[in-house]
């Protein structure tokens, strides 16, 4: 048996959309949830889902801002871009149990700024989110952006 992947995205339908689903269900006798799943499957099938290989994806990672965290002594916030995504990371002065791999990266978020602006939802726009524990682990699609950012952060840590 193949275990299906569970996505942590939620879609909220408007009252009009819900009403239309029930009208369609009354018309053809199919469960409204089945109609919703078919629509999602059709959308995903038409969406470009190929994952670029590491060689194809021209990953450009750069630090845009570096600022001290006034609440945590010696901690530094780094933010920047990795291709079309933005990232932000909190680097601690010393390793911590709750940091990534018990190191110094306490928080790391990588998000799509277009989705964040359109939805006004930070977590919904994230492709990776670590906040003293994994909230959103890097998916296969997100790994090609996560690994260069993580390597750049590791280099920063080794230099400081």
Question: What's the pTM?
Answer: 0.61
Q: Are residues 33 and 98 in the same domain?
A: no
Please name which of 51, 52, 35, 31 lies closest in space to residue 43, comparing C-alpha atoms: 35
Q: Are residues 117 and 82 in the same domain?
A: yes
Within a domain: residue 115? yes
In the predicted model, what is the mean pLDDT of the chain?
78
**144 lies in the same domain as 76:** yes
Question: Regarding predicted confidence, which is higher, 122 or 54?
Answer: 122
Taking only the tens place, the pLDDT of each residue in 110-129 is 999 988 998 898 888 899 99
HSE value, Cβ hemisphere, 13 Å, CA-based, for 149: 32
* Domain count of the fold of the chain: 2
pLDDT of residue 34: 76
Do residue 99 and residue 39 come from a single domain?
Answer: no
Whole-number pLDDT of residue 8: 43
In a domain? residue 23 = yes
Give the integer Cα–Cα distance in Å for 105 and 65. Answer: 16
Residue 120 lies in a domain: yes
- Asked if pLDDT for residue 64 goes beyond 70, the answer is no
Q: Is 74 left (phi over 0), alpha (psi -120 to 50) or beta?
A: left
**Whether residues 74 and 144 fall in one domain:** yes
pLDDT above 60 for 43: no
Collapsed DSSP state (helix, strand, coil) of residue 110: strand
Tell me what pLDDT residue 71 has. 76
Residue at 5 is within a domain: no
**In terms of domains, do 29 and 90 share one?**
no
The residue among 119 and 64 whose pLDDT is bigger is 119
Q: Tell me, yes or no, whether 98 lies in a domain.
A: yes
Domain-located, residue 75: yes
Q: Establish if 135 belongs to a structural domain.
A: yes
Where residue 24 falls among pLDDT bands split at 50, 70, 90? Answer: confident
pLDDT of residue 11: 57
Question: 36 lies in a domain?
Answer: yes
Q: What is the mean pLDDT of residues 3-25?
A: 64
> How confident is the model over 87-112, as pLDDT tens digits?
999 999 899 999 998 899 999 999 99
Across the range 19-43, mean pLDDT stands at 73
**Same-domain check for residues 69 and 139:** yes
Do 36 and 80 have their domain in common? no
- By residue range, what is the domain housing residue 23? 15-46
Whether 46 shows a pLDDT value over 70: the answer reads: no
Are 66 and 39 part of one and the same domain? Answer: no
């Amino acid at each position: 048996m193949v275990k299906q992947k569970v996505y942590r995205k939620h879609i909220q339908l408007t009252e009009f959309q819900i009403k239309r689903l029930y009208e369609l269900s009354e018309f053809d006798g199919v469960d409204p949830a089945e109609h919703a799943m078919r629509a999602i499957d059709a959308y995903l099938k038409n969406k470009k889902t190929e994952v670029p290989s590491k060689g194809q994806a021209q990953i450009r990672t750069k630090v845009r801002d570096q600022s001290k965290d006034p609440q945590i002594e010696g901690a530094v916030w780094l933010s920047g871009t990795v291709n079309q995504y933005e990232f932000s990371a909190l680097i601690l002065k010393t390793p911590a149990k709750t940091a990534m791999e018990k190191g110094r990266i306490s928080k790391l978020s990588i998000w799509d700024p277009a989705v964040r602006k359109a939805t006004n939802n930070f977590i919904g726009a994230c492709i990776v989110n670590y906040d003293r524990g994994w909230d959103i682990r890097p998916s296969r699609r997100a790994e090609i952006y996560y690994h260069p950012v993580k390597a750049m952060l590791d280099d920063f840590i080794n230099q400081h």
